[in-house]
Structure 1
């Protein structure tokens, strides 16, 4: 399965209507919206709750007083945050390319589109007949300021009437438990970093989760895992086989073709933005039998990974 990671951000600013439409047109099986929470409890589609990197909020004088510093999942972050603006205010913002130095063609579309709500993406996917992979961001942080994002997601999915293929994922397994407990029919996928530990369970490092014993503990709790591709590119990875042996699917993120994102051995001469030997890197990933990949360039992903190709 090929998943348009935030739409088609290799070509257009992420999480915009145009980026999702392009991903559908290029043949993805599903798209992945990241969700955070506005001040009035609306589920907003942004990569992070700090929004100055992907919107024009920093240039808007009416929001100058909203700039602040917070601790998000243990890190000090300064900027503008979705939870400090109502949806009516957020709806006035315009999306920007997150990596303009790397993707100037996408940055040329800065300011053209408003940001979206989760409901908007669900409606777009339903209209296109495609699936949605909802990533829940910063559940523990949002709980600390009074928002149960599991309840918000469950309510939105139920009220939207979305009946297409649905996956719900997070780097925090506890929020997946809470959404599942609310009776939302979906496949639940635990996101795993190559290093570190989840903020909701810091005593259990991600590396421990990816052992055979760690995967045993996930059986019956989730339907799959989604691992940083760096894990799969290490010598003799066994996580895919271990998960499959226990009936769990394995997703991986994020397959990007530019030199900057490729493992060093697959980079080609040229700038960070130049395409490297992505086919060789992706070939290693494909050979391991993963069930789904997240891609920034849907056309390249579909051409390489789709079974008919």
Structure 2
């Protein structure tokens, strides 16, 4: 593996990270944090797609680096190949995170289709065998992140990630959990490539089909979670809760396809949006089939911008764009407290270091954002930058 130009952070001490699977939230049993988490213990640091702030996401190299940085959990999205293999990609559309466009042998497979109501053009995993996908290289999905590793690392299967987590647990002496998501499950089911039964089989084969096992299974689609539960999956289950954006005039979450509602709801004609899930009634419904929620972080701490005379948000920092860096974080909502009251843990997504993604009052310091969320009592955070999340957690614990 090529040398990687960043420093490992020493924040991942063994005292914080041992015995991951032994409590509801996975932190050290008996180590009280002083934070209002569901069990009073320190929040998990969940490596979102691996060390995706530094390396091409959802590769064995990215997951290994996240573990080296000290992640408690590595997170991955699951899509399906033509020959029914489960691989780790965030999108069925391989154009987003691989170099498939540079492979002339696959040029004829480029197409435009609908994925969960969104029109996409590219190459799709269900048109490729695993052997063909193994010829592709993973690429960075953010132009602000390192590009020198593009094309060097391959797309792994879920089984390969399970094997990695077990090997690294044995090597490091601390349990590394995994956090797979059934990605676009209705899309794949409609193609005759449902993923849930195969996922259950892999989990069972790993010896992880229990609440205490080092695994969380997540989905945006309630029917996917409910189906797996009905088929005997006993792991911790997590309902993801999305949104499209924030109206910087009001701080309210906005909704648009494909982030307006679970796509299985769209298929069933249910017109409600994701926000019904964060009400006490919605949380009570989730508790009937899941153990926790993974909400977009703006449901917990939103942002508001400065509004000009024309009624539009102002580009405060003058960089030609209006984004989080031009907004101010708002007081926390009751979501964490309400979820805990319902008996659900809370793992918000996604925390990133880039200044354009940080509210102005954090002063370009990502640790300030983590600290604000940790203080609300969240039980874990999905992060692209494991080392930053751990440093903020260590500082707060001390």
Whether TM-score is above 0.5 comes out as yes
- The residue number in structure 1 matching 2:333 is 237
In structure 2, runs of 5+ residues without a counterpart are 1-43, 170-175, 244-254, 303-330
Worse-superposed segment, 73-82 or 159-168: 159-168
Q: Does 1:261 align with 2:361?
A: no
Compared CA separation, residues 27 and 233, structure 1 to 2 (3 A): same
Q: Does 1:186 align with 2:235?
A: yes
**Is residue 367–residue 389 contact of structure 2 (8 Å, CA) maintained in 1?**
no
Write the deviation string for residues 206-233 of structure 1: whole angstroms up to 9, x where unpaired.
Answer: 1111011111112221100011111111
- The residue number in structure 1 matching 2:86 is 43
Aligned counterparts of 2:184 and 2:202: Cα–Cα separation in 1? 18
Aligned counterparts of 2:85 and 2:204: Cα–Cα separation in 1? 15
Q: Does 1:123 align with 2:169?
A: no
Q: CA RMSD in A?
A: 1.5
- How far off its partner does 1:237 sit? 0.5
Compared CA separation, residues 67 and 212, structure 1 to 2 (3 A): same
Q: Does 1:32 align with 2:72?
A: no
- The residue number in structure 2 matching 1:223 is 291
Aligned counterparts of 1:182 and 1:124: Cα–Cα separation in 2? 26
Q: Within 5 Å, give how 1:146-185 maps onto structure 2.
A: 146-162=192-208, 164-185=213-234
Aligned counterparts of 2:365 and 2:385: Cα–Cα separation in 1? 15
Aligned counterparts of 1:250 and 1:225: Cα–Cα separation in 2? 5
Aligned counterparts of 2:151 and 2:206: Cα–Cα separation in 1? 28
Q: Within 5 Å, give how 1:23-102 maps onto structure 2.
A: 23-99=66-142, 101-102=143-144
**Is residue 51–residue 386 contact of structure 2 (8 Å, CA) maintained in 1?**
yes
Q: Does 1:198 align with 2:262?
A: yes
- Give the length in aligned residue pairs: 298
- The residue number in structure 1 matching 2:389 is 301
Compared CA separation, residues 184 and 61, structure 1 to 2 (3 A): same
- The residue number in structure 1 matching 2:280 is 212
Worse-superposed segment, 202-211 or 27-36: 202-211
Q: Match for 1:279 among 367, 371, 375?
A: 367
Compared CA separation, residues 193 and 264, structure 1 to 2 (3 A): farther
Q: Match for 1:112 among 149, 152, 155?
A: 152
- The residue number in structure 1 matching 2:324 is none
| Larger gyration radius, structure 1 or structure 2 | 2
Aligned counterparts of 1:165 and 1:66: Cα–Cα separation in 2? 38
**Is residue 123–residue 162 contact of structure 1 (8 Å, CA) maintained in 2?**
no
* Secondary structure in structure 2 of the residue aligned to 1:13: coil
**Is residue 38–residue 83 contact of structure 1 (8 Å, CA) maintained in 2?**
yes
- The residue number in structure 2 matching 1:140 is 186
- How far off its partner does 1:165 sit? 0.5
Worse-superposed segment, 66-75 or 253-262: 253-262
Worse-superposed segment, 210-219 or 237-246: 210-219
Write the deviation string for residues 163-200 of structure 1: whole angstroms up to 9, x where unpaired.
Answer: 75110001101101111222223100000013421111
